[in-house]
Structure 1
Amino acid sequence: MIKGFNELFISFGWITESSGTYQLLKATGDCLFYFFPIFLGYTAMKKFGGSPFIGMAIGASLVYPTLSGLSNGESLFVLYGGTIFESPIHITFLGIPVILMSYSSSVIPIILASFCASRFEKVLKRIIPRVVRTFLVPFFIMLIIVPVTFLIIGPISTWAGNLIGSGATEIYGLSPILTGFIIGFMWQVLVIFGLHWGIIPIALLNIGILGSDPIMALSFAASFAQIGAVLAVIIKTKNKKMKVLGIPAFISGIFGVTEPAIYGLTLPLKRPFIMSCIAGGIGGSLLGYAGSKFYILGGLGVFGYPNYVNKIAGIDFTFYMSFIATGVAFIFGFILTYLVGFKDPVEETSSPITEENENLTEEHQFDDQVFEIASPLTGTVIKLQEIKDETFAGEHMGKGVAIRPTSGRVVSPVNGIVQIIYRTKHAIGLISDDGVELLIHIGQDTVQLKGQYFEAFVKDGDRVQVGDLIVEFDLQAIQEAGYETVTPIIITNTSNYQDIAQSTNDIVNEKEPLLKVFAQN
């Protein structure tokens, strides 16, 4: 949105491109995407089970300014001269030529590098003694993975982008309509992997030499198809979080910044992303049919229409066709997504007790009784209000307590039934023989691990006794992956009881008293 507003201010003549205001706003809008490898290094390593800050360090090496500046000097020699892989060599590493490329805003190099680093880290942790692991593991990872990324991973992924750009030019000569569909359909996919940078240099070259470019012009409808899909998600979803994410993603998409829409909504939901690609292909076909061209590489989104203005011919059919094509892409993106639908994410704020057992609690309510709940973990007792997750801290799911575990075991705190083991194994729902409903949520945001580092020993419907092993988890691995391990233990049917009291002990062991549940008088 900041980038879009900056282009709007330029269009209205309120500021100039040489002004400090423009430059500062440009830096504000571009900084995240320019240094994207650093942020992706963190998230990719977290996803692959490695140390996130090592991923950030690898990402930072890819945008290290000194290395980028070396490519401006005189080259030592040229590799693959006369081909699309032609690469001037400015430095070598141990005698091996290093192909310096621009990795700002790129995606694939850091993801591949993080994947390799995470696997290498696991090997190193097995062979390096724990006493020196803290500094030797990152030392060897950086020493090996960074050169490998510059020597192999980075150039190969960048060349993949160049091949796509060259292939698009060849296809356009055969059929502009087909090319329009392919570019429009694939554009958002290329953006995800950073491969669209292989097309942008071709567009710049065409504009510089020929005065116009037909390739980039075909991608213009894709962002409008994306926001059409987002609007359908906003209207159709019942998930409050998705609606909150969708509105700013839709607004920024109007200005051509579709990353929030892609990464936050359509790609995780899968079907909306596919439908937006189809709609983008339809819009691209219309642009190809009209022979639309970019005469400048200017604004994005709604500020991109001036790109189609031919300075010699003025406003012509191709300019008007840009409005028609983007409108069609938007409408198809909306309609296809709305009709095909998507799997609406279930908000993790509901009780884990199923409807078929909703009457079980009532059958076991006894006046003037106190039900004791044992501790399912060993660790430090923390007040629920002190944890970071607002859903639990605000007691929106019920009263209870939290434990910072010192071992990776969860045992049953009651005699009762396992109502649900979430498929990611990070949360367990139980109902005691006395009708007390409990939720044990191991860590914070650990659902993102998708079951990694967790092992369940029971299944839905199993009967358990106090102390029976339910789940084991790798405490150290979860912490090293960047996740908080504080575990809330919640009485999800709190409203059925007079009060919930927690243990006064700071440290608690498995099966020791943890909570007291007071029945209604």
Structure 2
Amino acid sequence: MEKDIANQIIDLVGGKDNITDVWHCATRLRMFVHKKDQVNVEKISNIKGVVTAQFSGEQLQIIIGNKVAKVYAEVTEITGPLGNNNGQSDRANKSGSGVISTIMETISGIFTPILPVIAGAGLLKGLLTLCTGLGWLAEEADIYKVLFIVADCAFYFLPFLLASSAAKIFKTNNFLAITVAGSMLYPTILGSYNAISAGQEVDPITLFGFVNVPFLNYSSSVIPIILGVWLLSYVEPAIKKIVPRSLSIMFTPMFTLIIVIVATLVVLGPLGNYIGEVLAIAISWLFNHAGIIAGLLLGATMPLIIMTGMHYALFPLVFNNFALLGHDKMLNPVALVTNVAQSGAAFAVAFRSKNKEMKELATSSGVSALLGITEPAMYGINIKLKRPFYACLIAGGISGAIVVGFGLKSFAFLTGIISLTAYVEPGNIWNVVIAISGFALSFVLAFILTLILGFEDIPEEKLEEEMGTADKQKSSKSDENIDNAPVKLTEKKEIASPATGKAIPIEEINDKVFSKEIMGTSYAVTPTAGEVVAPVDAEVMYVADSKHAIGLRTKEGIELLIHMGIDTVELKGKYFETAVKATEQVSKGTVLATMEVKKIAELYDPTIITIITNTQDFQNIKKQYINQEVTPANTIFEIE
């Protein structure tokens, strides 16, 4: 099954050649692509085994659930090694991404691979705290000391984990990155820091007679090593270009380590350390002095933040809080209650729904959310039904305000019901009581609010179609989004050619999305004139910023996309002029745009593609005049 899902995904993203980078987290397959317009998000969402798909900035996120790792393995088996191999990752340097988007996507890529070990170590830490708090285990016991090493080593040596993960993101040498992390945790640095902290005098290390190397505690730190590996990704390729190839194997690593480690210990490390301290103090101040408001806002928006992937941007703050304060009063307590709200809403849907399939899906998703994996419930149930999602936002906001207002502290990075062990604080039983109370409150609030707000139950037949489980035979278009029955037009509708030129078989187009008609039944015309006109009376629904595509919709509900040229989005509007705007009504023959065909043809294929994007809504579509000269007076589509 996973292999079939992988094959369908690759086809619908425009083929493996369109994929520049792919990775995954607990429930999502994440990738970057060369050309977004080749990705059919709607059809990907309708693949059996896929919850939904969406673009978050430049990143395509395909929510799959617990089988995502297996699907990822099948995808990478087909694609083979990916990456541009120039020392920089597409995740960190995706063209068109804004600074904030790039930072969030980079942090997401760095933290995702190490989350399992952090979660496992965090759970063990929570259990050890619980056992010592209840008197079941003494801290002096040998078994406790060994288990504490197991639980704490991932956090203490976090820079090593981050170095390895960041090296993959920045496409640089993994072993050099780990060596940079080793310099930060070297006994000379940490030993001097501990000695100074104990009030002892330590001889300074001074470079060139005036540059001091600061003695700082880099254990459990986040930002310093990420900055160090980022610098490494630039320095190593630059040195490779300078050093002769015959000497590169020795001298490139030597010069790279000298430059990067010195810069990290003297500049980037201290800078990252101070940034972490300032952020931790600022966030702590905010939650101490405006906790209820901060908890309300974060709790009410956390699901929306997760949808965009922005929650990864908060991870460094959480780990800095653990390193500097010993606990987190921000993300973890709020995530505790917002995650369980998704579970409460899903269980309410299971309780009220009359649909057997929906009951089963909502129950399994609710259990998953209770354990900390919220995507199946959020995307598969609550957002789909809308009002349960609103209930989650309200419940999360109220519960977030309460737990933050009471100063709830988390001592380990965990999610779901098992994370309650992370709130056990020695000598303060109220912390775990608040955690349990907030957890229960959010679940109950979301459950009750979902019942009060209600939702429109999905008929069993329709859900079966969406899930691909209907017993009846599917038509040849079963892979389309068939939420509604085909439209029956009262009379045959004719769509004319949008331009003068040669009509060519769509299969001959050198673009898989168009040639395979993935976006819908399509017609191709190689233009001999630059005027592009409305092929039918319609409303303008969309005009691309790059001026190369215009969307139309007729009163009968026919949706058309006039796509001018292949890959011409890269021209960013050059050689195109549009004559209409969105919401404008146009008559058949109205000029929509003009294109400088000859100049475009020197760079890209100028072929104009007319696509019926809601093909599935119609019973019969016929093409005419293939391999013939056409003008706007010729009918290219007959729709019934």
Q: TM-score range by the shorter chain?
A: 0.3 to 0.5
